[in-house]
Structure formats: C-alpha cells, structure tokens
Amino acid sequence: MATTSLRAIKTALRKGLRTRLAQVTHQSIQRQSALVTTQLLALPQYEQATNVCVYINMDAEIITRAIIEDIFAKQKRCFIPRCTPTTMDMVLLRDMADYDTLPRNKWNIPEPLPTDVRDNVFDYGGPHLIIMPGLAFDTNKNRLGHGKGYYDKYIKRCLEYSEQQGNQPPYLVALALNEQIVSEPLPCNEFDEKPHQIISSERVLQ
C-alpha cells in the first residue's frame, strides 16, 4: 500500500477511534486499569525487569500510576517518555514525589522539561521492559499509535542498541482498554512495531 494512502486510512481510523473512546466513562477506565495492572504485575517479564520504561497515560488510556508506584516499591528503575517534535527518549523518574511535581505538556501529560537534566535508560544498559500505549490494536497485535511514530522509532533504536551490546532486546507490552481492541485488521507496514503482548481487562493477546 502506498505511503500516502496508508497515512490517509490511518488518519480516518484515528478520528473514528477518538470519537469512540470519548464515550468511555472514567469509572470504566478505572475499573479496567485495575484489572490490567494486576495482570501486568504478575508477568514474569515484569518481575525479572530492572529497567522498566512506562508511559504516563492520557485520559482515554489504561492508567499507569499504580504501575509506577509498584516499580518503586519493587526497587526497580522507572523511565518515562520525554518527547521532542520528532524523537522520544526514556528518562529516569526518581520517585513518586518527582512524578507528582512534573510539569504537564500540551497533551496534559506529566513530562520532564527539555532543560531538566536526567539519566537516560541507555545509561543503565537499556530497557528490559517497555510498557507502551496505543490508540488501537487488532487481534494480530498490530498497533495504531497517535501518528507521531514515537514508539516505532524508539523500539528500533532499542533493538539496534541491544544488537550492538549483545543484550537481550526489551520485552514489549501494550496496555489497552477493551474499546481499543478492534476486530478488523489495522493497516500497517514494515515500519510498524508489534508488541510481544497486549493486555486488556478481558483478554491477553500474545
């Protein structure tokens, strides 16, 4: 499929999905988030990971605060996204007090400022586990993001780093509301990275 037509299809899909997700109540998101968090924290890949990269959620996404709290309780290292217009890095979050004082970006997501000097996950040997969001997922584990390509490009960087260092590549887990899993195949190309596993409150795709 031509890049321009694929982009147009994805744009139309995103518009419909955002309308659909706007109908999901906060109570439903909280309930689903609690169930998804329980499943994630029980994963062997989570238990074994020291360097955990995790997104900070937008409104219509699985809430990650309890996951971040558990990362600190288990004395793991927590890394969160910091974005420029074209790239994303995962930088160290120090503790929950640090989390609670982060400024909010234009999407109303807590994010460290560009001028805030922080360690990068690659300073600690790279990520062991990446917990990622998405706008939608299909049953073949294809992922539709918000259109910036942040995670696709970042995962490629991580895979290249792991190969150069001779390390195990990071395990990729996506968290999804039930309303974000669609039955129709999502459009994708060779640049789209699939998670190893998608967890929703009703099912796990792996």
What is the number of other CB atoms lying within 10 angstroms of the CB of residue 131?
24
Handedness of CA 137, 161, 125, 56 (dihedral sign): negative
Q: Are strands 171-175 and 143-144 parallel, antiparallel or unpaired?
A: unpaired
- Tell me: is residue 144 an annotated ligand-binding position: yes
- Tell me: is residue 12 an annotated ligand-binding position: yes
- Tell me: is residue 148 an annotated ligand-binding position: yes
- Tell me: is residue 56 an annotated ligand-binding position: yes
- Tell me: is residue 141 an annotated ligand-binding position: no
- For residue 145, give every residue at least 6 positions away whose Cβ sits within 8 Å of its Cβ, in sequence order, or none: 133, 134, 135, 151, 152
DSSP helix/strand/coil, 53: strand
Neighbour-count burial for 38-50, b at 16+ CB within 10 Å, e otherwise:
ebbeebebbeebe
- Tell me: is residue 11 an annotated ligand-binding position: yes
Q: Where are the alpha helices (DSSP H) in the chain?
A: 3-21, 26-41, 44-48, 65-73, 96-100, 150-165
Q: Which residues pair with 89 in a beta bridge?
A: 82
Q: What token pair was written down for 85?
A: 């217009």
- Tell me: is residue 147 an annotated ligand-binding position: yes
In whole angstroms, what is the distance from residue 178 CA to residue 199 CA?
9
- Tell me: is residue 151 an annotated ligand-binding position: yes
- Tell me: is residue 149 an annotated ligand-binding position: yes
Bind-site residues? 10-14, 56, 61, 143-151
Bind-site residues for substrate? 56, 61
Bind-site residues for ATP? 10-14, 143-151
